Amino acid sequence: TVVVAETAGSIKVAVVVCLLRGQNVLLGRRRSSLGDSTFSLPSGHLEFGSESFEECAARELKEETGLDIGKIELLTVTNNLFLDEAKPSQYVAVFMRAVLADPRQEPQNIEPEFCDGWGWYEWDNLPKPLFWPLEKVVQDGFNPFPT
Ligand SMILES: CC(C)CCOP(=O)(O)OP(=O)(O)O
Ligand SMILES: [Mg+2]
Ligand SMILES: [Mg+2]
Ligand SMILES: [Mg+2]
């Protein structure tokens, strides 16, 4: 008989912001127990309560980079298992595409305890290593730029 261990893991939702400026996208190297020193898009937990995906994207981008979001739209959603981590977790990642309200605005590293700093990268020239949820969609041919 196969015994399936019913581990009471919870599934969390994170919003991931593909912030586009010209041909570039904003990435930062994470300082975190999850994906430490890998390059990630600005992202954060959808907070319990009344927050929409768009509101979460705008809040997390502001909290992490000081940038003000302009137009934003839903791109795709992925399921991400982190089962071989010290603390196993599972995240549904909601990928949003956004542009800046003011394209002249530059990012600041507001939370240096969580990020080494932000930089603009061409999609065909992304830094390595990428944070697993981003690596996975890149391998699947995902491209956040409007065709
Ligand atoms: C899977 C991942 C996007 C998890 C949540 O992202 P995060 O660690 O950047 O979360 P916070 O910005 O809310 O701390
Ligand atoms: Mg955050
Ligand atoms: Mg957060
Ligand atoms: Mg974050």
In this predicted structure, the answer to whether residue 4 has a pLDDT above a threshold of 70 is: no
Question: What is the ipTM metric for this complex?
Answer: 0.97
CA of 2 to the centre of ligand 1 (A): 34
CB atoms within 10 A of CB 34: 18
Enter the pTM of the model: 0.94
Q: Is 35 left (phi over 0), alpha (psi -120 to 50) or beta?
A: left
CA of 127 to the centre of ligand 3 (A): 23
Q: Supply the pLDDT for residue 5.
A: 55
Distant-in-sequence, close-in-space partners of 96: CB < 8 Å, separation ≥ 6: 15, 16, 17, 18, 53, 54, 57, 72, 73, 74, 75
Q: Supply the pLDDT for residue 115.
A: 98
Mean pLDDT, rounded, for 97-104: 98
pLDDT band at 85 (very low <50, low <70, confident <90, very high): confident
